[in-house]
């Protein structure tokens, strides 16, 4: 099931309902947006400096003044846009770019980075599905 289908009928209240680990669907979506936008930007630029100062926990943060219907719609639009942009960029990318190795990132080729990002996305989409089921059972 596509993530957009999982998220389409969620209310703001459901999106900010915490599980036992203090995670919310909205915070996980923010995390997905952060890493997909970051890696897409790096992919488009081709070169990047690895930023070890990034605090991964902060990528899950919620901005309290945006926790409303408009903020949720904006978040969903950003998520859809970054996934859509990835599809377009990958369709238009020459295979030689995907095999180019990144000395800045453990000398991994771009195809491996994109593959790891896809696995990362799948993991968190699974979390979102479980959270939604838990919320709807309560």
Residue 108's DSSP bridge partners are 102
Q: List alpha helices for the chain, DSSP H.
A: 3-7, 12-15, 25-45, 69-92, 95-99, 110-137
Token pair belonging to 78: 């950003």
* pLDDT reported for residue 51: 74
Question: The whole model's pTM is what?
Answer: 0.93
Phi, psi dihedrals of residue 48, rounded to the nearest 5°: -160, 165
Which pLDDT does position 24 carry in this prediction? 96
Q: Tens-of-pLDDT digits for all 138 residues of the chain?
A: 689 999 999 999 999 999 888 899 999 999 999 999 999 999 998 767 777 778 899 999 998 889 999 999 999 999 999 999 999 999 999 999 999 999 888 899 999 999 999 999 999 999 999 999 988 876
pLDDT of residue 20: 81
Neighbours of 76 (CB within 10 A): 19
Residue 138 confidence (pLDDT): 65
69-92 helix and 25-45 helix, angle to the nearest 10 degrees: 30
Q: How far apart are CA 39 and CA 45, in angstroms?
A: 10
Q: What is the pLDDT of residue 95?
A: 93
CA distance 116 to 8: 26
What is the distance between the alpha carbons of residues 88 and 49, in angstroms, rounded to a whole number?
24
């Amino acid at each position: 099931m596509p993530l957009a289908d999982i998220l389409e009928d969620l209310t703001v209240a459901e999106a900010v309902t915490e599980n036992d680990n203090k995670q919310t669907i909205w915070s996980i979506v923010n995390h997905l947006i952060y890493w997909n936008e970051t890696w897409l930007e790096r992919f488009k630029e081709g070169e990047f400096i690895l930023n070890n100062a990034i605090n991964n926990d902060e990528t899950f943060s919620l901005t309290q003044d945006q926790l409303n219907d408009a903020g949720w719609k904006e978040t969903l639009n950003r998520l859809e846009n970054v996934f859509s942009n990835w599809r377009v960029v990958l369709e238009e990318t020459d295979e030689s770019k995907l095999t180019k190795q990144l000395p800045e990132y453990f000398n991994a080729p771009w195809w491996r980075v994109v593959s790891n990002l896809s696995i990362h996305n799948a993991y968190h989409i699974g979390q979102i599905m479980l959270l939604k089921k838990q919320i709807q059972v309560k």
